[in-house]
Structure 1
Amino acid sequence: MSTSRPSSQITIIDDHALFAESLALTFETEGYPVRRIDLTRPGTTLATVLAATLRSSPRVVILDLDLGALGDGGRLIQPLAAAGTSVLVITGSNDQGRWGRCLDAGAKHVMLKSRPLHEVVAVVRRARDGLPLMPPADRLSLIELARRDHSEVRDIRNRLERLTQREMEILGMLMNGSQVREIARTGVVSEATVRTQVKAILAKLETNSQLAAVGAAFKAGWRPPSA
């Protein structure tokens, strides 16, 4: 007599123990073989997590993007997808550009952690059966957004390279919340001098305000060079 018990293994990669345990219990109740990757063992790195996951050849991997001390779980997507695994990203981030980067790397779907468990289970069932997990237009839209973001970041980084050493220092202080008066006092120069330097920064970054310049630097992941 045949049964409907699923045969595909699910592997969960998540550093939030309670959340991962809840997922595992739910899927085990559904009859799925489930494996949780232990991220707390000494010497664990993204490379060891990848190797441990691939050894068990899971059909579906549920992957958190933010893996605490291990860093960006998104770096696991491409090698897992290349191995034929259906990667389902589950995250607390609502950054649509980040979602698009996950999809572009090969993830099948991206879900918020706040979604009800029964919805997550439904998505896993579809992944197991090889069914589409999201409308193609939505997927393409998110990927295009990610690629536009990538292009924008590249342009910002090119502009940041135009800054002089002193302009980099000033932009770094602006990013830390310093005002023109404080910057002038720290550099033992006049406020007028600092304002002139700030105007040069805005011109080189092609922005029209200090706030926009700071926002661009953060978007590009830029940090001022160490003294």
Structure 2
Amino acid sequence: MPTTTRLLVCEDQALVRAGFVTIFSAQPDMQVVGEAADGRAAIHQAQELKPDVIVMDIRMPLLDGIEATRRLAGPDSPNPAKILVVTTFNVDEYVYEALRAGASGFLLKDAPPPELIHAVRTVARGDSLLSPVVTRALIGRYAERLRPADTPTSPEHDRLKVLTPREHEVLLLISEGLSNAEIAGKLVLSPETVKTYVSRILTKLDLRDRVQAVVLAYRAGLAPGGDRP
């Protein structure tokens, strides 16, 4: 029997929230165990219900989704939650902050239902969700402000010294939003070999997932500026 993913939907717009609940409830492997219309309620229900995945809006009353994410999945959280942030392009700067706060990925609110369902399943199994196009558009837009002025001597840059040249290369491609299969094609490696490299990178840098790897790469100045608007 397939494992049922328990979901908490956090969204202040009732119609949008109802739409998410309807979509998820129709899936045989998903169960919506709670709903929240503001950040404080999201934290309370997450701590009480312990869902497998939290679908989190960014702009919510009382406490925004970024701070709620930080408290539930940030470095000070003893048991980090798996959080999928939903957003729109006009709040893209907040998306980066949400990723820094500990979110496992993000998706646009106007994504079609199959993409939303896939995103939840991806986060539920412990993977991060980074669309190449959206990653470059969002994080790349803020690359310069994310990088410390003294990049060559920054703590983030020093952390990368533990990586081999090939691992540096793989991290750079991860920061560009490439999947394992795409990295394999670019470096003429097998997907399994790339997966091993990614695992080593995360372990060496003490990172939870690819999202954190992208953030670190940009802060260290390893990644290029990305696509500029």
TM-score by length of 1: 0.54
Q: CA deviation at 1:34?
A: 0.5
Cα distance in 2 between the residues matched to 1:130 and 1:144? 27
User: Looking at CA atoms only, which structure, 1 or 2, has the larger radius of gyration?
Assistant: 1
Q: CA deviation at 1:116?
A: 0.9
- How far residue 37 of structure 1 moved from its aligned partner, in angstroms, is 2.4
> CA–CA distance in 2 between the matches of 1:17 and 1:87?
20
Letter in 1 for 2:42: V
Matched residues, number: 143
Check whether the contact 1:97–1:149 (CA below 8 A) recurs between aligned residues.
Answer: no
Q: Residues 59-98 of structure 1: matches in 2 within 5 Å?
A: 59-67=52-60, 69-81=61-73, 82=77, 83-98=79-94
Deviation, structure 1 residue 28? 1.3
The alignment partner of 2:5 has SS state of coil
Give the aligned partner of residue 120 of structure 1. Answer: 116
Contact 1:100 1:144 in 2 (8 A): no
Q: Does the CA contact (< 8 Å) of 1:99 and 1:110 recur in 2?
A: yes
- AA partner of residue 24 (structure 2): F
Aligned residue type for 1:54: Q
The 5 A counterparts of 1:17-32 are 17-31=14-28, 32=30
Greater RCO, 1 or 2 (C-alpha within 8 Å, sep 6+): 2
Which of 92, 96, 99 aligns to 2:95? It is: 99
Conserved? CA contact 1:101–1:143, under 8 Å: no
Match of 1:36 among 34, 40, 43: 34
User: SS at 1:11's partner residue?
Assistant: strand
**SS at 1:34 equivalent:** strand
Q: Gaps spanning 5+ residues in structure 2: where?
A: 150-229
**Deviation digits for residues 121-173 of structure 1, max 9, x if unmatched?**
1111111112232269948x828937816989xxxxxxxxxxxxxxxxxxxxx
Which residues of structure 1 form unaligned runs of 5+?
A: 40-44, 153-227
Deviations 1:83-104 (CA, angstroms, capped at 9, x unpaired): 3211111013434322111111
1:48-91 CA-partner distances (Å, limit 9, x unpaired): 43122211111100011111x32522111112113321111101
TM-score scaled by length of structure 2: 0.53
Alignment of 1:162-173 (within 5 A): none
Q: Report the 3-state secondary structure (helix = DSSP H, G, I; strand = E; otherwise coil) of the residue aligned with 2:126.
A: coil
Q: 1:7 to 1:112 in 2, by over 3 A?
A: same
Give 1:27's aligned amino acid: F
* Residue aligning to 1:9: 6
Q: Which runs of 4+ in 1 moved over 6 A?
A: none
* 1:110 is aligned to 2:106: yes
